[in-house]
Amino acid sequence: MTIELEATGIVKRYGPLLANDHVDLSVLRGEVHAVMGENGAGKSTLMSILYGMQAPDAGRIVLRGTEMHYRSALDAIGAGMGMVHQAFKLFNSLTVWENVVYGMEPARGVFIDRRAAAAKVAALAERYRLQVEPNAVVGKLSVGVRQRVEILKALYRDARVLILDEPTAVLTPQERDGLFDIIRHLTADDRTILFVTHKLHEVMAITDRVTVLRDGKVVDRMVTSETSPREIIRAMTGRAVNLTVEKGAAKPGAVVLQARGLTVAADGGKPVVDHVDLSIRAGEIVGIAGVAGNGQTELIEALTGLRIPDGGSVAIHGVDVTGVDVERHRDAGLAYIPEDRATTGTALTASAADNLAMGFQRKPPLAKGRLLDGAAVTAHAKKLIARFGVKIGSEQLPVGTLSGGNLQKVVVARELSHAAQLLIAEQPTRGVDVGAIEFIHGQLVAERDRGGAVLLVSAELTEILALSDRVLVMFDGRILAELPVAEADEETLGLLMAGRVGEAHLKDGTEAA
Amino acid sequence: MSEQSVRASRLPRIPAVPLAIGIGILIGGLLVLASGGDPVAAYRAILVGALAPSNWPNTLNWAVPLVGMTLVAALPLRGGMVNLGGDGQLVIGGLVAALAALYLPLPGPLLIAAAILCAMIASGLYASLAAWGETRFGIPMLISTLLLSYPAIGIASYLVGFPLRDLTTGLAQTRMIPEAARLPVIAGPLNIGLILMVVVAAAVVFFDRRTVAGYELRMRGQNAKFAGYGGVRLASQQVRVMFASGAIAGLVGAILVLGSLYRYQDGALLTPGYTWSGLMAALLAGGAPLGAIAAGLFFAGLQTGGFAMQRETEIPRVLTMVLQAVIILFLAIRHGVGRKSS
């Protein structure tokens, strides 16, 4: 097979940050090539360089045997590159064909040849089985169809290499399958796809080869058919996979969290969370495994009061908290480590003392009536910083300067110190160094042994397997299966996470819902 | 990735204020020079006019409404909210105070207290209407506060122009309020409105630094999502803060009507532009109460000095407004640089 696109020694530096550190990428003609990596691994930077949006500090790009020096994305487009961004770049008030031909309109004198334009777009859509009505107004189309318009735009400019940046992040499973069909038609026509994603099962499903980035460097290149999700995870995170956690048997007590028929509706179509029943007991860790985007985020939002569910009920420690605000959830006994520590879990510009006080500000000793006791706030922060080993110069410093692991420790310290009945931990170790991971895992087990009920949501199967006493698998908005951790292994969970219940050999004691 | 680049490009904030003031003075001086005036004389006239001991009462008298309107803007801004409706809230406060003073059958001190209270409640409710519109229907407060000003101003104008007009004068204004309803004078132009405003300013600073609600408002300003996740009830907080903000505007209106105008006169509360100077002062301090109060005092000095300069030299007082605008612009550039990369 011939090499379609080759990048060698790509370096891109932003101030002190080396976003791309001598990245080599080689893509064969007609293949689907996955570029994987955690957030901040340098995927987006690399793609923007390949698409001519940014110039590399060093390195060369060779497209079909010719070395390229792009001055802008227009040069790259001219050379046969196309890109579908995560956030679509479309005119919502214009029709499909107007969007597609924009900038390259077939003209008749000074006028646009509307009929020819629409016909051309229709023919293109037909050829690659992109079901789009050329005269529809883009603003009225669903997200999946808009993405097809973006692909059409690139094809209209005869893109030979198409970069898809997290293309499935916004799609429903059905739309995603449709996209995969389109990708197959494109590669059959010898077009090349660069597929940027961090969703493992999609990589396994559609790609031919994988390049994995970590901290701006290429850490591994694999042939999809010869690798496993486990190996890809290991390459992406650089973690030793055997992060085992010492823990004894669980002693489950009374039910702490009870959800019945919990439903979160989507804008038209299938609910994102579909009649989920859950019960978490004191003294156990229940893990929710699932590929990101199967409703976990929305489920947690509905359980914590950040989102009002469209159906069903939630009770914490016997108190019905359906549809009430976060504060009443917390009063009933909720502590919550959110998925995103920087946008939800902390205020980056506020001091560590202020961050650690959140949730405690209305109760003594921090509150004295309606006044806040500044000395108590400081003492509280100092105590937690010492106990959880947060590396920070002073509790008065803003937390935005902390590393990911330290910032996460601030969140974990604050939420664990509530000693709440229920702890919901969402991706508690994402983007955190190994030392902090072990510490946080230890704390979660200690929370369980103290008699707390812990609900753990994680995209890392190893984490789920290491910590959970019971595992629930979430797929397509539903709890697909529930199994004791002893009967869960990576293969079974992986199949369940892909929704393939039939192939997962479920043993006795395992329920498939 | 972006976190680090923010850290690298964020410039230290503290020197920004003196720098902006310096640049403003420089550009203002050049303007004076270009139009054939003497910048040194102009600035001396401003300084003397604002700060000479004999001019303190004037400066303070101007500062009372301006600092008041600064707090009106600063309080919501501390929580990341913008109240652009100061004009409407000011007018409602002034009109309600005048009407209460004219029509409530109460003896002296009680009448004053009742008039102020009515003004504060009316303006507070009017301001919280915008907050309620956002929390309940998603109408952005940035728009609704501004738009709600126009009906308030229009209706007040109609009321004093027709049904409540003082027929003995040719102007759109109410009758004079009774002597008993006028704020007691301290000295010269100064009345107890000054003391009321000092108390309110101190209360806002205390609220911000020492109370639970002040902490929750600050956290909302730093990251509203974080505050909501931590259990702060954002919707009711928004309504309460806007009520307080509006109530301060109502107080300013009441102080102006009961303390110096002695009647509600169409347009009289708005012509000096307290709302916008106050908003700029609040923005200059990023909503921090002490800084905002200092900025409000600075603008009050600048504007009073401007009047003095206009009297003493041929340079029109619009120069001080140019200074004010240049200072804000340069600060906005600094803010903008920090914002963009985050």
Task: Answer yes or no: is pLDDT of A508 > 60.
Answer: no
A-chain CB neighbours of B5 within 8 Å are 14-15, 17
Residue with tokens 């976060």: A326
Residue A358 lies in a domain: no
Q: Are residues A167 and A292 in the same domain?
A: no
* ipTM of this predicted structure: 0.84
pLDDT value of residue B108: 81
Q: Are residues A182 and A331 in the same domain?
A: no
Q: Which residues, 6 or more positions from A21, have their beta carbon under 8 angstroms from its beta carbon?
A: A11, A42, A215, A216, A217
pLDDT value of residue A433: 64
**CB-closest option in A306, A345, A371 to B210:** A371
Whether the full predicted model's pTM is greater than 0.80, yes or no, is no
**CB-closest option in B1, B223, B230 to A19:** B1
Taking the mean position of all CA atoms in its chain, how far away is CA B233?
A: 27
- Which string of b and e fits A3-36 if b means at least 16 CB within 10 Å? ebbbbeebbbebeebbbbbebebebbbbbbbbbb
Pull the structure tokens for residue B294: 């200092």
Q: How confident is the model at residue A503 (pLDDT cuts 50, 70, 90)?
A: low
pLDDT value of residue B10: 43
Residue B5 lies in a domain: no
**CB-closest option in B8, B231, B233 to A359:** B231
Q: Are residues A270 and A158 in the same domain?
A: no
- Picking from A237, A264, A286, the residue at the C-terminal end of a domain is A237
pLDDT value of residue B4: 37
User: Is cis: bond before B140, omega within 30 of 0?
Assistant: no
Q: What angle do CA A328, A333, A337 make, to 5 degrees?
A: 95
Ranges in chain B, pLDDT < 50: 1-14, 336-342
Q: Are residues A80 and A16 in the same domain?
A: yes
Q: How confident is the model at residue A241 (pLDDT cuts 50, 70, 90)?
A: very low
Residue B1 lies in a domain: no
pLDDT tens-digit profile of B238-252? 999 999 999 999 999
C-alpha to C-alpha distance for A346 and A350, rounded to whole angstroms? 8
Domain hosting residue A434, numbered range:
255-344+420-512
B-chain CB neighbours of A402 within 8 Å are none
- Residues 382-401, chain A: which have Cβ within 8 Å of B? 400-401
pLDDT value of residue B13: 47
Q: How many CB pairs under 8 A join A and B?
A: 90
C-alpha to C-alpha distance for A390 and B11, rounded to whole angstroms? 26
Domain count, chain A: 2
A475: CATH: 3.40.50.300
C-alpha to C-alpha distance for B113 and B107, rounded to whole angstroms? 10
Residue B75 lies in a domain: yes
Chosen for mutation from B1, B206, B208, B209 (greatest number of chain A CBs closer than 10 Å) is B1
Residue A349 lies in a domain: no
Residue A487 lies in a domain: yes
Contact A344 B212 (CB under 8 A): no
Q: Are residues A200 and A289 in the same domain?
A: no
Q: Are residues A189 and A273 in the same domain?
A: no
Q: Are residues A275 and A149 in the same domain?
A: no
C-alpha to C-alpha distance for A331 and B142, rounded to whole angstroms? 33
Domain hosting residue B216, numbered range:
62-285
Q: Are residues A162 and A285 in the same domain?
A: no
Residue A65 lies in a domain: yes
pLDDT tens-digit profile of A182-238? 999 999 999 999 999 867 778 888 999 999 998 888 999 999 999 887 788 778 777
**CB-closest option in A40, A344, A347 to B1:** A40
Q: Are residues A73 and A144 in the same domain?
A: yes
Q: Which residues are bridge partners to A133 per DSSP?
A: none
Q: Are residues A270 and A233 in the same domain?
A: no
Name which residue leads in pLDDT, B34 or A509. B34
Least confident of A37-41, A289-293, A376-380: A37-41
Contact A344 B226 (CB under 8 A): yes
What does A228-273 look like in DSSP terms, one character per residue?
-HHHHHHHHH---S------------SEEEEEEEEEE--SSSS-SE
A-chain CB neighbours of B8 within 8 Å are 15-16
Nearest CA in chain A to B232: A327
Count of CA atoms in the C-beta half-sphere (13 A) of A324: 15
pLDDT value of residue A434: 62
What does B87-148 look like in DSSP terms, one character per residue?
HHHHHHHHHHHHHHHHH----HHHHHHHHHHHHHHHHHHHHHHHHHHHHHH---HHHHHHHH
Nearest to B242 by CA among B86, B52, B22, B100: B86
C-alpha to C-alpha distance for B269 and A382, rounded to whole angstroms? 50
What is the mean pLDDT of the segment spanning A53-74? Answer: 92
Q: Are residues A204 and A59 in the same domain?
A: yes
β pairing state of A209-214 and A217-223 = antiparallel
Q: Are residues A88 and A233 in the same domain?
A: yes
Pull the structure tokens for residue B92: 């409602």
Task: Answer yes or no: is pLDDT of A177 > 50.
Answer: yes
Domain count, chain B: 1
pLDDT tens-digit profile of A72-128? 999 999 999 999 987 788 998 899 999 999 888 888 888 888 888 889 899 988 888
Residue with tokens 């910590």: A467
State which amino acid sits at residue A219. Answer: V
**CB-closest option in A15, A304, A350 to B219:** A350
C-alpha to C-alpha distance for A342 and B223, rounded to whole angstroms? 10
Residue B121 lies in a domain: yes
Question: A305 to chain B, minimum CA–CA distance in Å?
Answer: 9
